[in-house]
A and B are shown apart, each in its own frame.
Chain A
Amino acid sequence: MAALDRAKDESDATPPSLGPASDQIWLDLNFHLTELSAGNALIDDEFNEELFIKPLQKGYVYSNFQFTTKWNATIHHTDTFRHYHLFPKALGEVLLKYGVQELHLSQTQGLWRHKQWGYPVHDAPPGAELWVWFKPSVSNVDKAWTDLANAVSGLFCSSLNFMDSKNIITPRWSFRPQGLASQAYAFRSYFMRYGTLPHEIVCTENLTPWRKLLPCDSNAGLSTLFNAFHFHDANYHSLGLHVRPVCANPECTEEAIELSQSLSIVTDVVSTSNTGAPHWSLKSLFGNHLVSACPIASKSVIIVETAEQQASLPYRLSPNPTLGKEILRGEEKHNYAVYDVRSFTQHGRVLNVAGTYEDVSRLIDDAVPPPIHAHRYITGYGLADGGITCLIHNTLPVNQSILYMDVVPWFTRVYFSSLEVTNKDHKVPFKVHYVPAKDRLRPHHLELAFMLWPHSTTRVSFNFTRAFLKWTEYPPDANHGFYISSAVISALLPSSLEYTGPSQGASELSTIFTENSTNFMTRIHTESLLVSLPTPDFSMPYNVICLACTVLAIAFGSMHNLTTRRFVKEDLSKKKGVIAKLKSFFSRKKKEETAKETEKLAADQGEAKSESESSPTASYDNSNAEEQS
């Protein structure tokens, strides 16, 4: 139990709140910017653009654009959102209207493979993820969420409005405010909502409005590299947007609003290159050189993470970087090459950063998996019962406490009793926060805090049963299946192995060079899952209506007959077969016709005619009566 309590304590302490010390100032890279920053001194806002490139294993290259707008004004004052300069007005109005304190949105296509690729700067699940902290002044948080989701979907042309009460939750431990917040506010997650849309498709129409929020749009600077064709051809791409209140100065006497926009892409350079070698350049990644820096940006840099100690083969960068950096983050050494875009693109020159491997044949696959990575999948077979299992690997030589959060839709009914956390067949003690689902109202919300043992794999598993939906609740492509959003694993790692992001207090990537944190806040998202539910034949309701009506009509008809008709014993001598009836019917017709023809002549044949006509009349009436019944 002691271990469990500690896990809980540590997990609560996971998000380091922004203190004065955690905010670092950029000192190193002020080469040619003095002139411009003097010009910008009058304006409170600051804009920075950065591009981080890291070659991954197996010929993949990870590029992360980071645009940071810092607005020296407090988010809590309504008068703040009146006169905009670099901060986009379209977003500011939304933040003001719905009382938003922090907003984190990611729209992602593809899955980040932690085991091979390490950790990205901003981890994001496939599809869309939105989590928002509302101001304490918001009285009805759920309504504010609904309205905000609608406004944000309008702003980014996505279907975030489908994040309704059925798939949003209020996480208890896993999410804390990322920016400035009082302790009391941060630890009561009452004002926070978290929602995901795992099946949301991200495409050009999401990139365009996102890009429009940048002060330089795509007219100058790093954003000129945006090429929708290359982005959507990539193996993974993710748009992120984060708004939070931060400290305006190192002493933290003033507040500022920080808008951080990030765009991550993982490109497979081997398969797109002609040579089959993992050489890369800006041109091969984005289809273009860089010709300018955004003149509004106070800083415009490209940072390339060069080979780490473990990597097999160093590669050569061209042109030579402005400076190289060797940084010790925690225990691990990271090497960076920094390009100042402004000085490289002066006097009409172009910048095309390229990495070339000297000897391609010596490339070997020696991926070092990051400290924690996970794999989640559906278990069971058939359409009745199933389960979810998540394997969490810990490659560290020490115990690592983590928070595991899983949101399961209401129609996969979780058996809480089946929940278990095991490690090599030993049960792992865990602390749990579980909110069961309510049909059509809210999802299952499971949060676990437990310890990962050194060099081991921990298995979280639980079972569920599939519910029947109402026939109107099925989507048009019901047989495609239903998505279950990614699980979120949060941890405070002691190692910066494969870690790329800056510390939590900063968004700018260049703060990596000056920070000296020893703990690295990591949040990883697992695979999203697809379950199939029992799906009816959709013409069924109509068939049922028709069948039921017919049965009812038959039942009623016989009852009606029984009560309103008289049953008489028929005279057998008069009974005729069907053929005889038909014969007599036709013969009658014939006779009628001939009778008409011979009407004038047939005066003496009258007796015979009346004899033959009398019986067909009766039979005709009979058939008529039978038809009616």
Chain B
Amino acid sequence: MSALDTDPPSVAPNEEKDTVETVKEKTTQHTAALCFGLFFIVIGLPLWWKTTEIYRVSLPYSDIQHLSEKKVEYLTEVNVVWAAGERKNSLDLSALATQLNKVLNDKRESGSSTLISTFRVAVREADKSEIRSIQNAAKVSDLSHLFSTSQFNTYSFVITSTTHVLAQPVIAPSNNIFLPYNGAEVPALTDQMVQLLKDVIRSTSVAKTYDVAKGQITQRPDKDAMRSFRYHAGFDVTFTLMVPEPDVVNVKWDIEAGVKDYLDPLFASLEEYTKFSVTSQVLYFVSLGGRPRKGENYFYYEERDLPHVINPLESKLGSHASNNPGLNFIVCIPPQSKIPLRIQDNSGSLLKSDAFLSPRWGGVMIYNIDKGNSNQTQTTAKLDMHRLMKVFVAQTRLLLNIQAQMVTTEAIVLSGETSKLHQWEVSAWLLCRCVENLATSTSTLRSLAQLLEEIGNIVINDEIGKEVEFAVASIKSSHHHLANGNLKEAFLASRNALKASELAFFHPSLLELLYFPEDQKFAIYIPLFLPISIPVVTSTVQAIKWLNQRRKAKVD
């Protein structure tokens, strides 16, 4: 077949006879070529686009960006009740209020850059019945139920006259601080109050938690931040008793009663916010790893040995049925050849408690049982649950970041009979966790948005879209509640935000199409696209050239 290209009229050799017929024929050809081109542009391209398109729900990128820049503001209400009787002339309540307001709201500069705390101060005089009830209090503990409030963000200062009951500042369980008036002037009094308030609401800890969760601290995070778990909707608490020689010393423990008496009150006060499931187990023929060193008449682990001590236990502690982080508490009975077994800290002195804590993991306690010289082949020992639980409750508080570090040393903290948390402890915990959740979920969303913008291959399905929307809405509502002082609502919203943002970020569908190599794509396209597109494109180009020429000819 000898087909000759006749498109460029000037070049073709058969172009001498410019009859009407050839012109007509040419028109048909070029129209056909144009139709092909048009067909591929109008139908082919959209079809190709549509079939290879990656489904992506539009996400509120601007909202996410906005949220990550937004400052978090929380409101604390401070009520000051003057119950110290006659005031000196120089002491004016309104002056106290102004001064307190000024100092407290000034403090915001010292805190985190994007975390703002605001205070609303109200000062009033106590009425007669209140004064009477304070005076009637015979013991410090009688004060605990006075001036109680159910609001988590409201704190009351009761300034009383110094009595034998109230010689020192007293922090009562339900967000109250009793301050015996020592006749100081307004600035001194204000400073004392601000110091106490800072201790109680743990503002530095809150700011630190927020900064760590946001990733703003680039250097190594401090011990406090590393020790405690981040917020989770559930924790698995496991108590493990290690009996290395059941044939020599058999050990019994009444862990059920121990947990019920000592730990359940603590967990009950956080029940609304996080779930704890407590289990216990006994392991035989298991011992701490490493070799204890020999002391004078005892054996000991040095502080630097401790990380290696718990490694061999790990394989027996995990759970196959739960995704929650686990708090592991281990009671280790040393073998008879190694008693008494102690722990020596870096300064060379022996620890009194024989217990240590592993950050974000749990605690270990060594429980020495001396069998003595009894000639019985096997003895049975029963563990003292009070001794165990005293240590483990303290460790739990540290691991969950409930413990407050007091700056003012002279204040008395009223404690209850059980390990139940005080309202001010719960308040501070909620605030800490709330800002932490907000920071975490915001940065999770920001990372997700960044990831999705960078990698175009990722499918974003409706479910992810919904989770992201929900997370954004929850963060917004949490911000709103915080600024208005509704701490509990703010926390619950932040919890939802955290959950939704994690769900979106770890959604398995994100990974499904991530790996689709480009070379395979082209290996499929080339045998079809290349042979079709080359003639179509060249003929279309020729046709367009021809059109232009004809138009020019007409104009001429």
> Which A residues are within 8 Å of any B CB, using their own CB?
35-36, 39, 42-43, 81-86, 88-90, 93-94, 96-98, 151, 154-155, 212, 215-217, 219-220, 295-296, 542, 545-546, 549-550, 552-554, 556-557, 560-561, 563-568, 570, 618, 621-622, 624-626, 628-629
B residues less than 8 Å from A565 (CB atoms): 3, 5-6, 29
| Given A90-B319, A564-B539; A545-B531 close (CB under 8 Å) | no
The interface of chain B, by Cβ under 8 A from chain A, is: 1-6, 11-14, 22, 25-26, 29-30, 32-33, 36, 238, 246-247, 250, 252, 255-256, 278-282, 284-286, 315-316, 318-322, 378, 380, 523-524, 527-528, 530-532, 535-536, 538-539, 543
With contacts A151-B321, A295-B247, A560-B536 known, is A570 near B285, CB below 8 A?
A: no
A568 to B321: give the CA distance in the assembly, Å.
81
Find B322's partner among A93, A212, A549, A564 (CB 8 Å cutoff): A93
From B6, B255, B528, residue with most partner A Cβ within 10 Å: B528
**C-alpha gap A220/B250 in the complex (Å):** 15
Q: How many pairs of residues, A versus B, come closer than 8 Å at their CB atoms?
A: 139
- Chain A residue numbers with a CB within 8 Å of B282 are 84-86
Bound: A611/B250 CA distance, A = 118
CB contact under 8 A between A553 and B255, given known A84-B280, A151-B320, A568-B4: no
With a cutoff of 8 Å between Cβ atoms, the chain A residues found around residue B6 in the complex are: 565-566, 568
A155-B320, A295-B247 given; name 12 further pairs at CB < 8 Å: A43-B252, A82-B278, A82-B279, A212-B316, A542-B523, A556-B531, A560-B535, A564-B539, A566-B22, A625-B5, A626-B3, A628-B538
Of B36, B284, B321, the contact of A97 (CB 8 Å cutoff)? B321
Do B531 and A553 touch (CB < 8 A)? yes
> What are 27 inter-chain pairs, A to B, with CB distance below 8 A?
A35-B378, A39-B380, A43-B252, A81-B279, A83-B280, A89-B279, A90-B318, A93-B319, A93-B321, A94-B320, A151-B320, A151-B321, A216-B284, A295-B247, A545-B524, A549-B528, A560-B539, A561-B535, A564-B30, A564-B539, A564-B543, A566-B4, A566-B25, A567-B4, A568-B6, A621-B11, A628-B538
B279's partner among A35, A84, A212 (CB-CB below 8 A) is A84
Contacts of A39 in B (CB 8 A): 250, 378, 380
Contact yes or no, B279 A557, CB < 8 A: no
Which residue from chain B places its CB closest to the CB of A214 in the assembled complex?
Answer: B284
Report how far A220 CA is from B322 CA in the complex, Å. 31
Q: How far is the CA of A552 from the CA of B524 in the complex (A)?
A: 13
* B318 CB, min distance to chain A CBs, angstroms: 7
Which 5 residue pairs across A and B have the least CB separation, nearest first?
A553-B531, A295-B247, A549-B527, A549-B528, A219-B285
Is A97's CB under 8 angstroms from B528's CB? Answer: no
Task: Please give, as numbers and ranges, the residues of chain A lying within 8 Å of B5 by CB-CB distance.
Answer: 565, 621, 624-625, 628-629
Complex contact A83–B322 (CB within 8 A): no
Residues of B contacting A554 in the complex (Cβ-Cβ under 8 angstroms): 531
| Contact B285–A83 (Cβ < 8 Å) | no
Cβ of B532: which chain A residues have Cβ within 8 Å of it? Answer: 552-553, 556-557
Nearest CB to that of B250 among chain A residues? A39
Residues of A within 8 A of B320 (CB): 90, 93-94, 151, 154-155
Decide: A563 and B321 in contact? CB cutoff 8 A: no
Please indicate the chain A residues that have their CB under 8 angstroms from the CB of B14 in the complex: 568
Q: A83-B279, A553-B532, A560-B539 are in contact. Are A94 and B527 (CB under 8 A)?
A: no
The reply to whether B3 and A567 form a contact with Cβ atoms under 8 Å apart is: yes
Knowing A93-B320, A625-B3, the reply to whether A564 touches B29 (Cβ < 8 A) is: yes
On whether the beta carbons of A622 and B322 are closer than 8 Å, the reply is no
CA distance A561 to B5 in the complex (A): 10
Q: Which residues of B contact A561 (CB under 8 A)?
A: 3, 535
Return the chain B residue nearest A221 by Cβ. B285
Whether the Cβ atoms of B32 and A563 lie closer than 8 Å is yes
Residue of A nearest to B247 (CB): A295
Measured CB to CB, the nearest residue on chain B to A215 is B284
**Is B36 a contact of A560 with CB atoms below 8 Å?**
yes
State A231–B372 Cα separation when bound (angstroms).
43
Residue of A nearest to B376 (CB): A35
Separation in Å of the B521 CB from the closest CB of chain A?
12
- Chain B residues with CB under 8 A of A626: 2-3
Are A557 and B280 in touch, CB under 8 angstroms? no
Quote the shortest CB–CB distance from B284 to chain A (angstroms): 5
Which residues of chain A are near B527, meaning CB under 8 Å? 545-546, 549-550, 553
A557 proximity list for chain B (CB < 8 A): 531-532, 535
- Distance between B32 CB and nearest chain A CB, rounded to angstroms: 4
The reply to whether A84 and B281 form a contact with Cβ atoms under 8 Å apart is yes
Contacts A90-B319, A570-B4 known; A296 to B284 CB distance under 8 Å?
yes
Using Cβ atoms and an 8 Å threshold, which residues of chain A touch B536?
560
Smallest Cβ distance from B407 to chain A, in angstroms? Answer: 40
Q: Is the CB of A563 within 8 A of B29?
A: yes
- How distant is A538 from chain B, measured CB to nearest CB, in Å? 15
Closest to A625 in B: B5
Cα of A427 to Cα of B286 in the assembled complex, Å: 62
Within 8 Å CB of A625, what residues of B?
A: 3-5
Q: How far is the CA of A42 from the CA of B251 in the complex (A)?
A: 11
Q: Is the CB of A550 within 8 A of B531?
A: yes
Least CB distance from B200 to A in Å reads 36
| Among B256, B321, B535, residue most surrounded by chain A Cβ atoms (within 10 Å) | B321
